[in-house]
């Protein structure tokens, strides 16, 4: 009996003196400074999250492919178009009696919207785009800045309808038809909040104490810290919009999972009679090591995606590396 207790004590002593328990000692010794640092990171990350969304890329291109090369040349030559399909405005009822009026209306909106390239029978006489009294106008916009279609084609169509009240003017196109069949989602922020509320309900049921909030606090700091780094990376390389969803939703799950490992082990050690400080060091030495090993494994596994020449996959790799690494850092401190 005494031998068993002695071995358990030796095991606890050796476990509480490894690298991760040393991190715990440093954090406990400077906990006010550590908390202040993470509060600053949290606030800065909240600012960065509102800015990084406008810097994300919505490019699905695959560099090196013939279609990509052609799209880049179109963009270089015309300044718009490229890989995104044009919007199409159809003006019905055009004939010799009103063609000059239609031409003047098109010329007016072309001057009003210089960023849009108009291709129609009036500015491209070599193309016969007038069929059965329906004038087809192709509107080429710049690269997409969000998943939603550009609002400019709608504005142009409305302006033409205003200038040509006796004619029927309608907007169509591949992007417009695709968007019409999609329902708008909650958005990444709302989805994260909903997921967080659901997680809180489960954690409250499991812990039945204020401890349920701790994993969510850690997740919030981890997510916003990742956004802070992404904002800096967006000035160096192209970052796809998909990272926003990876960081918010996958990051929420990973940070909660990692923090639960340490919190649960800490509760067990407290239940075994250890003092609070010793329980923290023991949970760091055991669960903390597991957290670090798991996070590094996930990060290394996705590291290869960063070197791929496809922006979407490269961004997935960036997010896949940042999420576990930052979650580890927040959880262990």
User: In CATH, what number is assigned to the domain containing residue 140?
Assistant: 3.30.70
Would you say residue 10 lies in a domain?
A: no
> Is 145 in the same domain as 227?
no
> Is 199 in the same domain as 313?
yes
> Is 326 in the same domain as 206?
yes
Give residue 312's pLDDT: 80
> Is 166 in the same domain as 230?
no
Phi-psi map region of 119: left, alpha, beta (phi>0 left; psi -120 to 50 alpha) = beta
> Is 168 in the same domain as 217?
no
Give residue 67's pLDDT: 66
> Is 151 in the same domain as 193?
no
> Is 200 in the same domain as 51?
yes
CATH number at residue 234: 1.20.1640.10
Single residue among 130, 156, 180 that ends a domain in this structure: 180
Single residue among 133, 148, 180 that ends a domain in this structure: 180
Its domain, for residue 118, covers 66-180
> Is 238 in the same domain as 301?
yes
Give residue 280's pLDDT: 92
Would you say residue 157 lies in a domain?
A: yes
Single residue among 180, 207, 226 that ends a domain in this structure: 180
Would you say residue 13 lies in a domain?
A: no
Q: What is the pLDDT along the chain (333 residues), one digit of tens a residue?
A: 444 444 444 355 445 568 888 999 999 999 999 999 999 999 999 899 888 888 887 766 666 666 666 666 766 666 666 667 788 888 887 877 788 888 888 888 888 888 788 888 777 666 666 666 788 888 877 766 655 567 788 888 888 888 888 888 888 887 777 666 555 555 666 777 777 788 888 888 777 777 788 888 899 999 999 999 999 988 888 888 888 888 888 888 899 999 989 998 998 999 999 999 999 999 999 999 999 999 999 888 888 888 887 778 888 888 889 999 999 999 999
CA 33, 34, 35, 38 torsion: positive or negative?
A: positive
Q: What's the number of domains the chain is made of?
A: 2
């Amino acid at each position: 009996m005494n031998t068993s207790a002695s071995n358990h004590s030796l095991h606890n002593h050796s476990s509480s003196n490894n690298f991760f328990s040393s991190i715990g000692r440093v954090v406990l010794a400077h906990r006010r400074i550590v908390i202040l640092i993470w509060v600053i990171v949290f606030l800065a990350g909240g600012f960065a999250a509102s800015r990084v969304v406008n810097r994300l890329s919505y490019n699905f291109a695959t560099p090196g492919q013939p279609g990509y090369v052609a799209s880049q040349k179109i963009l270089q030559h015309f300044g718009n178009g490229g890989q995104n399909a044009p919007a199409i405005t159809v003006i019905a009822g055009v004939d010799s009696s009103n063609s000059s009026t239609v031409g003047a209306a098109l010329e007016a909106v072309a001057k009003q919207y210089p960023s849009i390239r108009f291709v129609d029978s009036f500015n491209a006489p070599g193309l016969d785009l007038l069929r059965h009294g329906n004038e087809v106008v192709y509107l080429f916009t710049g690269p997409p800045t969000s998943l939603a279609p550009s609002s400019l084609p709608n504005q142009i169509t409305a302006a033409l309808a205003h200038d040509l009240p006796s004619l029927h003017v309608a907007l169509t196109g591949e992007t417009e038809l695709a968007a019409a069949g999609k329902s708008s989602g909650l958005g990444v922020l709302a989805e994260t909040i909903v997921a967080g509320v659901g997680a809180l309900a489960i954690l409250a049921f499991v812990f039945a104490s204020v401890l349920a909030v701790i994993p969510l606090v850690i997740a919030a700091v981890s997510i916003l810290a990742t956004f802070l780094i992404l904002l800096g990376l967006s000035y160096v390389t192209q970052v796809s919009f998909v990272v926003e969803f990876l960081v918010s939703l996958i990051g929420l799950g990973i940070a909660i999972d990692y923090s639960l490992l340490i919190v649960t082990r800490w509760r067990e050690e407290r239940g075994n009679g250890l003092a609070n400080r010793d329980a923290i060091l023991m949970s760091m030495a055991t669960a903390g090591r597991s957290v670090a090993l798991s996070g590094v494994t996930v990060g290394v596994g996705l590291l290869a995606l960063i070197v791929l020449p496809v922006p979407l996959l490269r961004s997935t790799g960036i997010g896949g590396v940042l999420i576990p690494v930052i979650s580890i850092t927040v959880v262990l401190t």
